[in-house]
Structure 1
Amino acid sequence: MAEKVGIVGAGTMGHGIAELCAISGYDVVLADVGHEILEKAMEKIRWSIGKLESSRALVENPGIILSRIRTTTELRELAGSKYIIEAVKEKIEVKRQVLRKLDSLMGPECIFFSNTSTIPITELASMTGREEIFAGLHFSNPPVKNPLVEVIRGKKTSARTVGEARSFAISLGKEVIVVDKDLPGFLVNRLNDRLFTEALLMLGEGVTFREIDALLRFRMNFSMGVFELMDFVGIDTVLNAKTEMIGHGFNTSPSEKLSGLVEKGMLGMKTGKGFYKYQKPSVYSRPLIQPSGRMFRVNPVRLFATVINETAWMIRNKAASPDDIEKAMLLAMNWPEGPLSIADRLGIDNIVGELNSLHSSTGESRYIPDSLLLEKQRHGDNGLLSGKGFREWPFASEDIGPVKFQRIDSFALITLNRPEKLNSLSEELWSGIRIALEKALQDPDIRSAIITGAGRAFSAGDDIQMMRSWKGSADAKRWLDKYASPLIDLLASFPKPLISAVNGVAFGGGAEINLLFDVVVAADSAVFSFSESLIGAMPPIASSFGIAVTGRRLLPYLLTGDWMAPEKAKELGLVDVVTDDEMTLMVAMEYANRLSRAAPLSIQSIKSVANLHRTGVQPEARFSQNELIILSSSEDFAEGQEAFLSKRKPVWAGR
């Protein structure tokens, strides 16, 4: 004989849990205060089971499953249940009345579970005489499809009851996490509130909700934006959860924005309007969220700092294990990565810095960095860029002369490391970049390479001292044949994606090599200049590859050596993304992360075709290099180098 489960509350969660239990073979009694409520619940259950049958997700006949569900308005008909699941409104007085009545009707062995999303289990259990056999069993919406269940231990919940809750949830086909501290919001809703709260506060900092959602969707690979999610859940539901959590001591911020929307009846998808507008109330549709350049102005560190701080607090206080926290947000909220992985990607040092800044400006105690974060920062365990944070990452580092080569996760980070010379391209630097790229090419686990500069420059161009030392065209040809051409040829034919993070000046050759990269991310402080004509030389890459890419629009800059702001470089097609200085490398790493999710063979094919266009201008490239060789023996070339080093205006002879 099937075991009996009593469920009180036939709303969205209650009828979903009832359907799930019946599908899993339990006899279900679903109770609520009115027959009309129960009939609507059964209509939704029948509709859902029909959808599951049409998608061949059921192993039994729908009629058999539906026969296991009985409805009632009398709580006494739940007598004999092995488990009671309370799923009534998130109102403490309603729950108190229901739980006290149930406690008087059920046998002493009946285990009580509450599906509350915010109210502490200890408080609910104290309303009954069975605190040891009372636990939280929080299903995520929709219960039939969402794979996660949180089991929450109250202060007096026995280990046996926690085990029963786990076993029951597993019998329903669910993944289970255990929250060992009875906290307002438990795990998922607690972290959700941190994300919701900071997103709402950012609206007052000059950021729009569309920009924040675009950041999440298109930069961080989230399936839904945070404002899109609040509309989907119901803005009144989000506000009620926040209010309950604040009432039970959770240190979060009230939201006038949410209160204002609720007062106007703008509750999200169910009313046809919330943050976004929808075609019809209560009909599921996705709002139009489009990527834009503005999304690269939104700092994810600002958005996630308190989420990660809360996560650290929960780990340190043994509220939940690191693995369970990761699993909870992956499964319940469909995040692309858990909060600990996000912390490591953003950088724990960056998180601590942001929290300190927010605490300094607001005085709010929730921004005080947790001691676990401070400890990791103190030990240099800052995440991805150090190889270790909350988890260990694939990491290796070596110096190749003035080039630092790091293998980080799925990408190589190649740093031009002559900051005292503004990373000017010496022979050793040309050679070091080539060797580093060859190492990246030989490593099958490296999917892409990022190139950036140390200090306040990407690269100020070719080393003038080196060029001044040339005695004539033979020296220039030797430099091209031994150092420059091998790197240019490798960049033009490189089979893996190349990303540059341009910080500060990119002059001469430092600007030119960006024309051979696949993705160029530039900081606001970046300045581009093809300045060779100002020192008696010429830009061999820009005059061949560059003209092929941009057409004559680049020519005025090659002829004059004029400076180019990053937005202008983007307009001309030299730059793909312009962002704040502190986010330049972060955005480049986001590209590397997204590239790692793409099919390797597809990337290889795309690169093969793209490289045909680059190698197709090799005759022009060779011609332009020969022009540089010819110029190197001219008086004007020598004058240009000497004038630059002497910091004076050159006097051209025209020969």
Structure 2
Amino acid sequence: MHETDGSDGWVAVVGTDATGRTIAAAADAAGYDVRLATAPGDDPASDAPADFDDREALPLETALDGAGLVFEATAESTALERVAALTPADAILATTNTSPLAELAAVTGRPERVVGVYPAGPSLSAVELGHGERTDGDVVSRVRELFEASETPAYEVDGEVPGSISERLTLRFRLEAIRRLEGGTDPAAIDAAVKRLGFPRGPLEAADRDGLDDLERSAKTLVEYGVAVHVPDRLSALVEDGALGTEAGAGVYGSDEPQAPRERRYEVDPWPLFAPVVNEAARLLEVDATTRAAIDALLEQGANWPRGPLRLADEYGIDRVVERLQAAHEATGRATYDPRPTLRELVASGTVGLASGEGFYGYEYESRTFETVRYERRDCLAVITLDRPHVLNALDEASWLGLRRALEHADADDGVRATILRGAGRAFSAGDDIAEMYGWEADEEATTFFQEVLGPTVETLRQHSKPTIAVIDGIATGGGCELVLVCDLAVASHKSELGLPEALIGAIPPIAPAYGLTSLRKKDFFELAYTGDRLSGLEATERGLVNYAVDADQVEDVARELARATTAASPASTAAIKRGWNRMETEFHEPFFEAYLESVAERVQSADGQEGMGAFLEKRAPEWVR
């Protein structure tokens, strides 16, 4: 046998279906002497790795006589007892049955030599090693050596917890998606939304592929063991009707192939689907079933999640996870939604994830204030917040200067990969501070402001080397709207209002007619500038002011997703792309911007400007001289 095993016997694998053959192929690839054995109920037409498709399966007694390590990979609840009776007394018994290990090991006569082996995915990309109270540590180490030799990551878990870790968490995710169907949500919209986060398949596509009957069976098994799981009526109805999934020709998606078109990815908020998964993960941590790192690694490596559930919780915000769970618990009364103590304690301590610098994991975090602007470094993202909510984040001189300093600070930090610009409260920004401008007593004050404060800040934003993403959830008018135009990307809520009303107070928009025209068409610009009308988030998307319009609950998340997506590119390439674009803007538009800054200073100090600003502050209609 393989020299790292330390045993004189060979490796026997009982079960010739996909799981058994996959384990046998891994052991064979690692250099072990492997014997494959048939078992009742085996499916000979296996889709397992080709390495073992042609390997002759031996009779059970022949394969087990002299084996040093036996993998029992069958669907038979009593198979382990039979295997133990035919195996040498010192052999290690490894079972893929996810029932509590003590219950399984009791019938073998050697509970200290029984270990659980639970593949975290069909390709054995990761494996869970379950141990019981009486399992010998050396036994677990022996089995771990085999998987390590085959380059399969192995994670130790508590075998007394029914169901594998990856099964329990994946099950919660799919059940929650099916529950959304009961509320009338289109399955394609759910899957498209989840896939936008980097998942190769949506939860409903995956449920159809793996079999709805298996999903229901797994859920009911956990219920029998006292686990708080609710089986959706929709799932039971589908199974009862024979709509078992892809192989049956009908499932969640009926008889058609699953279709989750990319253009539907923002119809549904995918993040709440993970709340029950995070709640279950917290429960597993509370009973010491495994570690945080193992939970995330098993889902990432075994189920191809882009990030594990605990990392997703940190990204979304543990406080928001708890809010989602509490709302669902109040609406349904189901125990599965009752937030676990671990989550409540984290929220109570202010440990909520990226937004606080620490959650389930620790992150690079910095928080500081530049004038009236808040700056945060959240891992690889800089979040800059215009923070004058009492005046709708109107941009006074301190705000423009603070914004410039915050942008410069983010630009100088090599750890920052993208910068998000947002507003506090119910506005992104209502534009320049009219009261401050109305208080200027000399023309020089206006000229100095636009040429030495506003202009350089706009140039700092335009030349920022990192991708910039504007987050609009409310009002973005005047200078606020123009900041959106200068940012590289933008996400707005449907209820947002974007406009260029400067002419209504006798001024002009200085940024939009220069740099804004690269994203705003001539007729759109003139309509906004002449009329002072405001566009909704959806209209702003259609006219190119923002990339996406989504429900208010999603706007911050989508902006963060876009920011994270930009980090896939080389930082040097990202900076080079921006430099190239900026060179074009500088050559063709900078002279116009300088001219508009001179013009806006004149307009603000003109008779029309004074009348318009005075009327605005006095909340009356201006009286223009025709």
Interval of TM-score (by shorter of Structure 1 and Structure 2): over 0.9
User: In the alignment, which residue of structure 2 is the partner of 1:18?
Assistant: 24
Does residue 229 of structure 2 align to residue 252 of structure 1?
A: yes
Task: Decide which moves more: 170-179 or 442-451.
Answer: 170-179
Unaligned runs of 5+ in 1: 50-64, 280-285
CA-CA distance at 1:336 after TM superposition: 1.7
- Rate the CA distance shift 1:70–1:83 in 2: closer, same or farther, 3 A: farther
Task: Decide which moves more: 191-200 or 167-176.
Answer: 167-176
What aligned pairs does 1:607-618 form with structure 2 within 5 A after superposition? 607-615=578-586, 616-618=588-590
CA-CA distance at 1:591 after TM superposition: 1.4
CA-CA distance at 1:544 after TM superposition: 2.9
Aligned partner (choices 584, 587, 606) of residue 634 of structure 1: 606
Q: Which amino acid aligns with 1:521?
A: V
Task: Decide which moves more: 202-211 or 501-510.
Answer: 202-211
Does residue 15 of structure 2 align to residue 5 of structure 1?
A: no
TM-score by length of 2: 0.93
Task: Decide which moves more: 563-572 or 466-475.
Answer: 466-475
Aligned partner (choices 522, 534, 539) of residue 568 of structure 1: 539
CA contact (8 A) 2:314 2:353 kept: yes
Does residue 458 of structure 2 align to residue 488 of structure 1?
A: yes
What aligned pairs does 1:512-523 form with structure 2 within 5 A after superposition? 512-523=482-493
Q: Which amino acid aligns with 2:186?
A: T
User: In the alignment, which residue of structure 2 is the partner of 1:578?
Assistant: 549
User: In the alignment, which residue of structure 1 is the partner of 2:563?
Assistant: 592
Unaligned runs of 5+ in 2: 3-8
Q: Distance in 2 between matches of 1:445 and 1:329?
A: 27
What aligned pairs does 1:533-552 form with structure 2 within 5 A after superposition? 533-549=503-519, 550-552=521-523
Q: Which amino acid aligns with 2:67?
A: S
Q: Distance in 1 between matches of 2:41 and 2:536?
A: 69
- Rate the CA distance shift 1:10–1:623 in 2: closer, same or farther, 3 A: same
Aligned partner (choices 270, 295, 298) of residue 300 of structure 1: 270
SS at match of 1:252: coil
User: In the alignment, which residue of structure 2 is the partner of 1:48?
Assistant: 50
CA contact (8 A) 1:34 1:73 kept: no
User: In the alignment, which residue of structure 1 is the partner of 2:618?
Assistant: 646
- Rate the CA distance shift 1:36–1:621 in 2: closer, same or farther, 3 A: closer
Aligned partner (choices 29, 32, 38) of residue 35 of structure 2: 29
User: In the alignment, which residue of structure 1 is the partner of 2:435?
Assistant: 465
> What does the per-residue CA deviation read over 1:463-508, in whole Å, with 9 as the maximum and x for residues that have no partner?
1111101235432211111111101222233222111111211121
CA-CA distance at 1:231 after TM superposition: 2.9
Q: Distance in 2 between matches of 1:530 and 1:76?
A: 83
CA-CA distance at 1:599 after TM superposition: 1.7
Q: Distance in 1 between matches of 2:523 and 2:63?
A: 83
Does residue 397 of structure 2 align to residue 427 of structure 1?
A: yes
Does residue 368 of structure 2 align to residue 398 of structure 1?
A: yes
Aligned partner (choices 91, 96, 116) of residue 115 of structure 1: 96
Does residue 187 of structure 2 align to residue 209 of structure 1?
A: yes
What aligned pairs does 1:67-86 form with structure 2 within 5 A after superposition? 69-75=55-61, 77-86=63-72
User: In the alignment, which residue of structure 1 is the partner of 2:356?
Assistant: 386
Q: Which amino acid aligns with 1:599?
A: S
Q: Which amino acid aligns with 1:71?
A: A
User: In the alignment, which residue of structure 2 is the partner of 1:53?
Assistant: none
CA-CA distance at 1:18 after TM superposition: 2.0
Aligned partner (choices 80, 105, 108) of residue 86 of structure 2: 105
SS at match of 1:564: strand
Q: Distance in 1 between matches of 2:434 and 2:169?
A: 54
CA contact (8 A) 1:246 1:252 kept: yes
CA contact (8 A) 1:493 1:614 kept: no
- Rate the CA distance shift 1:73–1:236 in 2: closer, same or farther, 3 A: farther
Q: Distance in 1 between matches of 2:510 and 2:385?
A: 23
- Rate the CA distance shift 1:278–1:602 in 2: closer, same or farther, 3 A: farther
SS at match of 2:605: coil
User: In the alignment, which residue of structure 1 is the partner of 2:260?
Assistant: 289
CA contact (8 A) 2:116 2:159 kept: no
> What does the per-residue CA deviation read over 1:283-321, in whole Å, with 9 as the maximum and x for residues that have no partner?
xxx9553322x5334333311111111111111221101
> What does the per-residue CA deviation read over 1:536-581, in whole Å, with 9 as the maximum and x for residues that have no partner?
1111122333344322123111101012211111111001112222
- Rate the CA distance shift 1:457–1:66 in 2: closer, same or farther, 3 A: closer
CA-CA distance at 1:246 after TM superposition: 2.3
- Rate the CA distance shift 1:341–1:548 in 2: closer, same or farther, 3 A: closer
CA-CA distance at 1:180 after TM superposition: 2.1
SS at match of 2:201: coil
CA-CA distance at 1:35 after TM superposition: 11
Q: Which amino acid aligns with 1:470?
A: W
CA contact (8 A) 1:302 1:354 kept: yes
Aligned partner (choices 514, 517, 526) of residue 555 of structure 1: 526
CA-CA distance at 1:66 after TM superposition: 8.6
Q: Which amino acid aligns with 1:538?
A: I
Q: Distance in 2 between matches of 1:548 and 1:187?
A: 51
CA contact (8 A) 2:179 2:234 kept: no
Does residue 174 of structure 2 align to residue 196 of structure 1?
A: yes
User: In the alignment, which residue of structure 2 is the partner of 1:501?
Assistant: 471
Q: Distance in 2 between matches of 1:153 and 1:613?
A: 63
Does residue 107 of structure 2 align to residue 135 of structure 1?
A: no
Q: Which amino acid aligns with 2:598?
A: N
CA-CA distance at 1:379 after TM superposition: 1.0
Does residue 313 of structure 2 align to residue 335 of structure 1?
A: no
Q: Distance in 1 between matches of 2:568 and 2:322?
A: 29
Task: Decide which moves more: 295-304 or 12-21.
Answer: 295-304
Aligned partner (choices 207, 213, 216) of residue 239 of structure 1: 216
Q: Which amino acid aligns with 1:83?
A: L
- Rate the CA distance shift 1:358–1:34 in 2: closer, same or farther, 3 A: closer
Aligned residues: 618
Task: Decide which moves more: 416-425 or 629-638.
Answer: 629-638
Q: Distance in 1 between matches of 2:53 and 2:260?
A: 39
> What does the per-residue CA deviation read over 1:355-414, in whole Å, with 9 as the maximum and x for residues that have no partner?
111111110111111111111111111110111111111111111110111111112111
CA-CA distance at 1:105 after TM superposition: 1.9
Aligned partner (choices 317, 323, 326) of residue 293 of structure 2: 323
CA contact (8 A) 1:542 1:558 kept: no
CA contact (8 A) 2:182 2:234 kept: no
Q: Distance in 1 between matches of 2:109 and 2:159?
A: 21
CA-CA distance at 1:36 after TM superposition: 9.3
CA contact (8 A) 1:472 1:632 kept: no
Identity of aligned residues (%): 33
CA-CA distance at 1:456 after TM superposition: 1.5
User: In the alignment, which residue of structure 2 is the partner of 1:415?
Assistant: 385
> What does the per-residue CA deviation read over 1:141-195, in whole Å, with 9 as the maximum and x for residues that have no partner?
434xx33111112343333333333233323332111112521222110111111
CA-CA distance at 1:241 after TM superposition: 2.2
User: In the alignment, which residue of structure 1 is the partner of 2:6?
Assistant: none
SS at match of 1:621: helix
Runs (4 or more) in structure 1 with deviation over 6 Å come to none
What aligned pairs does 1:143-182 form with structure 2 within 5 A after superposition? 143=123, 146-182=124-160
CA contact (8 A) 1:543 1:558 kept: no
Q: Distance in 1 between matches of 2:315 and 2:62?
A: 54
What aligned pairs does 1:438-453 form with structure 2 within 5 A after superposition? 438-453=408-423
Higher helix share: 1
CA-CA distance at 1:620 after TM superposition: 2.5
- Rate the CA distance shift 1:132–1:35 in 2: closer, same or farther, 3 A: closer
CA-CA distance at 1:263 after TM superposition: 4.3
Aligned partner (choices 74, 82, 87) of residue 88 of structure 1: 74
SS at match of 2:85: helix
> What does the per-residue CA deviation read over 1:399-441, in whole Å, with 9 as the maximum and x for residues that have no partner?
1110111111112111111111211010110111111111111
Q: Which amino acid aligns with 1:29?
A: R
CA-CA distance at 1:132 after TM superposition: 2.1
TM-score by length of 1: 0.89
CA-CA distance at 1:201 after TM superposition: 1.0
